[in-house]
Chains A and B, each alone.
Chain A
Amino acid sequence: MVFVRPLLQRRLFSFGATQTHRNPHQQWSIKQVIKSNFADTLEDIKSHISNSEFVAVSLQKTGFFSAPWHRVSPFDTADTAYLKAKHAAERFQVLHFAVCPFTVRASKVTAYPYNFHLFPRDELKMEMPSCSFYCQTSSLRSMARQGFDFNSWINDGISYLSREQESAVKNQMLNPTLAKNVTKSTSTPSVADSVFIGRIKSRVKNWKKTYKCTSPSKDEALVRSLRKLVLGTEEYDSRPWMNIDVCSEHQAQVVVELLQEFADVVPLIVPAKGGVTQAVRVVLTSSEEDKDLLLRKLQNDEQELTKKVRGFREVIDLISASQKPVVVYGSLNDLTFIHSKFIAGLPPTVDEFMCSLRLAFPMVIDVNHLMKEIGPLRKVTNIPVAISYLKNQFFTPIDMVIPRQAMENEDTIHGQNVVKICELFAKLCSVLKIDPASVQSDEAKRASALEAYANIFSPFSTASEEPIDGDIKIWTNNTRTVSCEDLVFLWGFRDRVTAGVLKSLLQESHEAFFEEFDVRLVDNSCAIVVFWQRGLSKTFLNTMNNCSDMRGPLREMVSEGLRAAGYETYSRACRLGIWEATLADSLDKTLADSDSASESDSKTESSDSSWCTEWTINLDDL
């Protein structure tokens, strides 16, 4: 009896293993991009993006949620779902970012998948892009099982800065930059200005003269260094320069203007902290060619710096600049990550987020949303299952073509997901009779077809890479609509009470429970009660607040510490960012917080009630 069990376990295990690695398709070769081959790849992907119709993206992160209740659940409204996604995006890091520009022609999909390995290395020593990030132990472990190389991730991952960070960095970096040419102001200069101009002009002339009359070859080292000391000049790329200190932007402008008279000098702006000009640096060039050389070098330097600063974000900028439709799976999760890592910090509300995102990516198509159009796919939560379902139910032969020469790291499987998204997208389009090719050919047609599906962020869709377990599926079986007002959160009961026990305890305790209601555990500490009859939640909450009219088990539970709160407390907890490990703790804290700060919040409360309207709940029978 004892030794049968290991056999079984091994079997179960091997079965489980085949399940996780089940890949009905061939392994596609996906170009893995790290620090060393990033620059070359950038050129390739640029042309691929501009020649493709769509760009699919898929992210692998260091984690999904920190506590069970932090994951988006069916009872989340768009707001709370966004806040949860925001919390995750701010906490975790992107491990790799797969980008796949692709084109759909009839049943042929031509795709160019790339997988970029990202590490938020502090290249500029400015504690950017992020000082620290969270890792979910199980995520790392499952990545390790897939053979992900963490050493290479840290050593060779590409760094990046968000747009917001880049502009902050530019203000702090004190590299002199080429002064932009200014048009001569027509107004006559003021007395102070003309005095200043005269003084600077003679200073520059004198300084130039010393260099013109003495040929540098004759100089001895000592003389040269003495001159450096006396004149306070330095050499810029073996060219002499001097700084002209300025007190204001206006003076800087004046100096740059007057320097235009001298053909052989190049003016540079020396910035001070906070983006103001500290001085104008005058660099003397020996000839016209030398000047060109310097100008070109300066331009190159700036490009190099930008490249170093932006890192992987160049790719995001390319996608954004192309204005191509972006195809994702489980949009909310991935898009909050993209926004917070590469564009800017996440705004406090979902509406602001959508606006900001639309500026960068005008058209986002969530495959998950397309799947909802096909009834039975509604409850499917992962891509392979969806693909095989479509394969069995519809005749949608899709020919995936990945024109790619031999690759160096072909054994690696990372980033397969993005190709599957392309495939699924093409299949769905063909089933739904949407012609993806119309995107380019016919603007008007496109508006009617795909655009109907674009930019919709369904609050509840699991991330594509998230481990799939039974819990998700339970929730998506039947659909009934309920108002937020009819939901009550219950916590403070004994540890490990099941929803069923809780329901039977409640049933005999209060008149509100004589009608139909459902109980579900959100996490170990907290349950959600759905009152299918309107208004009963209020009765129940009143009873809980007044501690009156309680019977039997409920009375006992309340004396043991049972607490209850309506949906607004929950959404407040999300809004205030009280992300404790258990929902019970968070709700407790939120209530405590509202006691002290109720006054300031009463205003926001009223404005927020508008979203508390009808929404859809998917609740399974208990």
Chain B
Amino acid sequence: MRMRLRKHEWLRTTVLRACYCTFSSPFPQKHVTKSNFESAAADLKNHVKAADFVAVDLEMTGVSSAPWRDSMEFDRFDVKYLKVKDSAEKFAVIQFGVCPFRWDPLRLSFIAHPHNFFIFPAHDELPTDAASSSHDFLCQTSSLDFLAKYDFDFNACIRQGVSYLSRRQEDEALRRLNLRYQNELSQQVRDVPLVSMTDILFSERMKNRLSEWRDDLLKGTSGRSQFQGSVNDTNKQFQTLFYKMRPALSLNGFTSHQLKLTQLVTKKHFKDLASVRVEGESSCSQLVVVYTDSEADRDLLKVREHRLIQMPRTLSAYLSFWQKEVMDDNRRGAEMKIKATIGFRHIIDLLSSEKKLIVGHNCFLDLAHIYSKFLGPLPLDAEEFVSSVNKCFPYIIDTKILLNTNNILKQKMKKSKTSLSSAFLSLCPQIAYASKESCDLTFSSSVKVEVQVDDTRSSNWNFGVKHEAGYDAFMTGCIFAQACSLLGIDFKLYLPSENLAYNEKLWKHVNLLYLSWINGDIIDLSTGHRTAESLRCNDFKKWPTRILFENIVLVWGFPSKLKTGVIKDCISRVFGPTSVTSIYRLDETAVFVQFSEVNLVSDFLVVKETLERSHDALAVVHPLSKLLEGGNTCAASYETYKDICSSPISKVLFADQAEAVGIRGKTILVESKEELETKEQDTFHEETIANAKSVSVLQNKTGWKHTVKDASSTRPSSDEVIDSFCVAGVEQIRATSP
């Protein structure tokens, strides 16, 4: 994930990698695909059970489905969650790194077991009737390109990737299967009158063919070979084989209508033939006509007798019993298929049931992916999401939070970047550079980490490939181990039975995640509380004044050539020079305008609407006309932005998105205005609007100034507002007076 943040520093590492690759071996880690999944999962199970903590990392096919959905400062927490939700729902996870870390008291070092799973969604591998409807996932072109630069093996992923299925999908698939089975039981092949001539001909031909086949069977082996010879041209359509130890004829290359007819023919005309649908390897089902010799089957029936309460005696009853058995078989097969498709989710189930401490780096999006891919559909709001995640993974530590909020670590990190690889280089140089000599001298205070793959251990290796989930997870784990040691956790005194998450030095960091790194919004998974990171503004960058979302107007659909500065200028000229605190360009078609006062939001909307309504020639002179040029400019409050974000649609340009979601500026304008006005408890607001509207009447009278003064005395702080209203009023007068 974090590719946008990490992009800039890849060069540095490439240089470093080039320096070190000459004298060490490649980073050892276990790559897991379909072929070795079973054994790797069994091994991993033991490692996880013994582990003190497990580091994880994910690689996805993309991060944001549209440029305007990128994370930004103007994300309110609920909007940020919606963006994360959108990303997790649309993109697929293609690599999953799991790296259990265990403290070895004898060697006084951590033993890491990095696993790099290639995984690939498997909706299509489910039996056809159990598959849910989603068949596709989104890819972000730049992400694929980026991963390809790091030699990501997409072929391994698509050809050999371990499948995955969420708990919800599994339940759904099993439910569908059950329903289908019940339907099949309740309804056998129905009689259909043969209407068309072709159907009659086909049925007749089928009847001949089947009786021919059966007669040949009864005659003996010589007959069969003759039969096969006679249908040489069509032997692809008819194949004799054994099904459940009975001679059978499999039918291929027929339409399902033809198969249905064949089923009818067998039922009607052959007492000793049964037609059964078999789930083939390919998802389509196949028809097999089986010869059931009552004598030969008698023994079999006897074996079964004690198992069945009511024993079917007659041949036809026997046939239907037999068909049911095949159906059961099909169902069991389908169930097995569903179970097999669960694949990688077994690992997630393991992490969850072991209740181990999970370590990730800036992992809110990772968790959302884990939730949507392996548990079920993401909840609508962040609080619910957080509490469900907490139930599943009770202890999570985010190393990015740790490095940015703990004072000891902040000092150690100085001001270096906290992106994964730079944090790894600055905190764990002994592991990153992996040179033993210097390790003993310079990094004596450092935590030792050895890597174990299968049974070979090593403490000397080349740089791993960044953005390979296994190596990223390893780096995350190393950062965490080193951070623990810096915080004063002495692993030598540490008992294996102890849960690291309960350590007093770590406790206050557990379950805190960055909801948004840009805003410094932190969310506590165990309580759902959100806090803003307080300390970063001092040292990170100059923090703009706190964003007040109720002061924000979203404007879109204006001429795309319009520069941000010009928009600010337009608005300032109407509402006063200090009315706009900040303006943020969402994309070429949309901006956020933050006003200094809440009232200005509705005022802006009102002025915009009146301007649009009046088709006066003079309206062109109004400063806002520049913004309204083209007639497609829409404006709405911040809530609308949330609505637009919650839509599953993702158009590239925001204006197109708003239109696709069905938000037309004019309707939303009225709604939001009314909403705001009714919400407004302060009568002053309405008063000022009234003032502004009646300006034209008052202007020539002396009372004009008096009213304004009155208003300003009720709220002295709002001089600017009044001023801006004056400006607006004057503009309106200009616009309306002939």
User: Is A200 an interface position by the 8 A CB rule?
Assistant: no
Which residues in chain B, 262-285, are within 8 Å of chain A measured between CB atoms?
Answer: 278, 280-284
| A30-38, A124-132, A425-433 - the one binding chain B | A124-132
Known contacts A469-B284, A496-B180; is A474 also within 8 Å of B133 by CB? Answer: no
User: Is A543 an interface position by the 8 A CB rule?
Assistant: no
User: Is B488 an interface position by the 8 A CB rule?
Assistant: no
User: Is A449 an interface position by the 8 A CB rule?
Assistant: no
Known contacts A8-B242, A131-B67, A473-B257; is A67 also within 8 Å of B281 by CB? Answer: no
User: Is A495 an interface position by the 8 A CB rule?
Assistant: yes
- A16 to B124 alpha-carbon distance, docked (Å): 17
Do B183 and A496 have beta carbons less than 8 Å apart? yes
Q: Quote the shortest CB–CB distance from B504 to chain A (angstroms).
A: 46
Chain A residues with CB below 8 A from B195, complex form: 621
User: Is A65 an interface position by the 8 A CB rule?
Assistant: yes
Do A19 and B67 have beta carbons less than 8 Å apart? no
Chain B residues with CB below 8 A from A136, complex form: 124, 135-136
Which residues in chain B, 60-103, are within 8 Å of chain A measured between CB atoms?
Answer: 61-62, 65-67, 92
Do A137 and B155 have beta carbons less than 8 Å apart? no
Q: Quote the shortest CB–CB distance from B176 to chain A (angstroms).
A: 6
A470 contact from B61, B140, B175, B256, Cβ within 8 A: B256
Do B145 and A149 have beta carbons less than 8 Å apart? no
Considering residues A127, A151, A155, which has the most beta carbons from chain B within 10 angstroms of its beta carbon? A151
A132 contact from B139, B180, B192, B282, Cβ within 8 A: B139
Known contacts A132-B139, A478-B196, A496-B176; is A13 also within 8 Å of B280 by CB? Answer: yes
Closest to B258 in A: A473
User: Is A122 an interface position by the 8 A CB rule?
Assistant: yes
Q: Quote the shortest CB–CB distance from B343 to chain A (angstroms).
A: 13
User: Is B138 an interface position by the 8 A CB rule?
Assistant: yes
- A12 to B124 alpha-carbon distance, docked (Å): 19
B141 contact from A132, A500, A597, Cβ within 8 A: A132
B154 contact from A151, A498, A622, Cβ within 8 A: A151
Chain A residues with CB below 8 A from B155, complex form: 144, 149-151
Do A63 and B176 have beta carbons less than 8 Å apart? no
Do A67 and B133 have beta carbons less than 8 Å apart? yes
A135 contact from B66, B133, B139, B281, Cβ within 8 A: B139
Q: Quote the shortest CB–CB distance from B8 to chain A (angstroms).
A: 14
Do A135 and B242 have beta carbons less than 8 Å apart? no
Q: Quote the shortest CB–CB distance from A175 to chain B (angstroms).
A: 19
Which residues in chain B, 128-180, are within 8 Å of chain A measured between CB atoms?
Answer: 132-142, 144-145, 147-148, 152-155, 157-159, 175-176, 179-180
- A524 to B158 alpha-carbon distance, docked (Å): 28
Give the interface residue-count category, chain A.
35 or more
User: Is B679 an interface position by the 8 A CB rule?
Assistant: no
- A144 to B561 alpha-carbon distance, docked (Å): 44
Do B66 and A131 have beta carbons less than 8 Å apart? yes
Do B176 and A495 have beta carbons less than 8 Å apart? yes
Considering residues B137, B199, B250, B278, which has the most beta carbons from chain A within 10 angstroms of its beta carbon? B137
A67 contact from B67, B134, B660, Cβ within 8 A: B134
Known contacts A12-B278, A16-B280, A136-B135; is A131 also within 8 Å of B140 by CB? Answer: yes
Q: Quote the shortest CB–CB distance from B189 to chain A (angstroms).
A: 10
Chain B residues with CB below 8 A from A232, complex form: none
Q: Quote the shortest CB–CB distance from B666 to chain A (angstroms).
A: 11
| B115-123, B490-498, B690-698, B710-718 - the one binding chain A | B115-123
Do A154 and B144 have beta carbons less than 8 Å apart? yes
Chain A residues with CB below 8 A from B278, complex form: 8, 12
Chain A residues with CB below 8 A from B406, complex form: none
User: Is B243 an interface position by the 8 A CB rule?
Assistant: yes
Chain B residues with CB below 8 A from A140, complex form: 158
- A622 to B239 alpha-carbon distance, docked (Å): 28
Which residues in chain A, 223-256, are within 8 Å of chain B measured between CB atoms?
Answer: none
Q: Quote the shortest CB–CB distance from B661 to chain A (angstroms).
A: 10
Do A137 and B256 have beta carbons less than 8 Å apart? no
- A307 to B190 alpha-carbon distance, docked (Å): 63
B241 contact from A11, A16, A67, A474, Cβ within 8 A: A11
Q: Quote the shortest CB–CB distance from A516 to chain B (angstroms).
A: 12
Q: Quote the shortest CB–CB distance from B398 to chain A (angstroms).
A: 27
Chain B residues with CB below 8 A from A500, complex form: 187, 190
- A577 to B661 alpha-carbon distance, docked (Å): 10
User: Is A51 an interface position by the 8 A CB rule?
Assistant: no
Closest to A582 in B: B133
Chain B residues with CB below 8 A from A305, complex form: none
Do A66 and B192 have beta carbons less than 8 Å apart? no
User: Is B640 an interface position by the 8 A CB rule?
Assistant: no
Considering residues A134, A137, A500, which has the most beta carbons from chain B within 10 angstroms of its beta carbon? A137
Do B135 and A151 have beta carbons less than 8 Å apart? no
- A180 to B640 alpha-carbon distance, docked (Å): 48
User: Is A614 an interface position by the 8 A CB rule?
Assistant: no
Chain A residues with CB below 8 A from B141, complex form: 119-122, 130-133
Do B124 and A135 have beta carbons less than 8 Å apart? no
Do B137 and A524 have beta carbons less than 8 Å apart? no
Chain A residues with CB below 8 A from B564, complex form: none
Do A127 and B255 have beta carbons less than 8 Å apart? no
Chain A residues with CB below 8 A from B245, complex form: 1, 4
Do B660 and A577 have beta carbons less than 8 Å apart? yes
User: Is A593 an interface position by the 8 A CB rule?
Assistant: yes
Closest to B194 in A: A621
Known contacts A473-B256, A523-B133; is A12 also within 8 Å of B158 by CB? Answer: no
Closest to B143 in A: A132
- A90 to B712 alpha-carbon distance, docked (Å): 55
User: Is B244 an interface position by the 8 A CB rule?
Assistant: yes
Q: Quote the shortest CB–CB distance from A517 to chain B (angstroms).
A: 15
- A23 to B397 alpha-carbon distance, docked (Å): 56
Which residues in chain A, 600-622, are within 8 Å of chain B measured between CB atoms?
Answer: 620-622
Known contacts A67-B133, A274-B561, A473-B257; is A121 also within 8 Å of B145 by CB? Answer: yes
B135 contact from A5, A63, A149, A474, Cβ within 8 A: A63
User: Is B657 an interface position by the 8 A CB rule?
Assistant: no
User: Is A138 an interface position by the 8 A CB rule?
Assistant: yes
User: Is B662 an interface position by the 8 A CB rule?
Assistant: yes
Do B134 and A66 have beta carbons less than 8 Å apart? yes
Known contacts A8-B243, A15-B252, A149-B155; is A470 also within 8 Å of B187 by CB? Answer: no
Chain B residues with CB below 8 A from A16, complex form: 280-282
Do B257 and A150 have beta carbons less than 8 Å apart? no
A13 contact from B190, B244, B253, B281, Cβ within 8 A: B281
Chain B residues with CB below 8 A from A132, complex form: 62, 65-66, 138-141, 650
User: Is B286 an interface position by the 8 A CB rule?
Assistant: yes
Closest to B128 in A: A469
Chain B residues with CB below 8 A from A593, complex form: 662
User: Is A27 an interface position by the 8 A CB rule?
Assistant: no
Do A501 and B183 have beta carbons less than 8 Å apart? yes
Q: Quote the shortest CB–CB distance from A60 to chain B (angstroms).
A: 14
Chain B residues with CB below 8 A from A470, complex form: 255-256, 259, 284
- A145 to B158 alpha-carbon distance, docked (Å): 9
Q: Quote the shortest CB–CB distance from B199 to chain A (angstroms).
A: 8
B124 contact from A9, A120, A138, Cβ within 8 A: A138
Q: Quote the shortest CB–CB distance from A71 to chain B (angstroms).
A: 11
User: Is A198 an interface position by the 8 A CB rule?
Assistant: no
- Hey, what's the 0/1 contact readout for A498-537 against B, CB within 8 Å counting as 1? 1011000000000000000000000110000000000000
Beyond the given A137-B123, A470-B284, A496-B180, could you list 6 further A-B residue pairs with CB under 8 A, ordered by the A residue number? A132-B65, A132-B66, A135-B92, A477-B257, A621-B196, A621-B257
13 A-B pairs with C-beta separation under 8 A: A4-B242, A11-B241, A15-B252, A62-B139, A127-B652, A133-B138, A133-B141, A135-B92, A141-B124, A144-B159, A150-B155, A151-B154, A154-B144
Q: A residues touching B (Cβ–Cβ < 8 Å)?
A: 1, 4-5, 7-9, 11-13, 15-16, 19, 62-63, 65-68, 91, 93, 119-122, 127, 130-138, 140-141, 143-145, 149-151, 153-155, 273-274, 469-471, 473-474, 477-478, 495-498, 500-501, 523-524, 576-577, 581-582, 593, 597, 620-622
Give the top 9 A-B pairs by smallest Cβ distance, nearest first: A138-B124, A496-B179, A470-B256, A150-B154, A13-B281, A581-B133, A473-B255, A154-B148, A274-B561
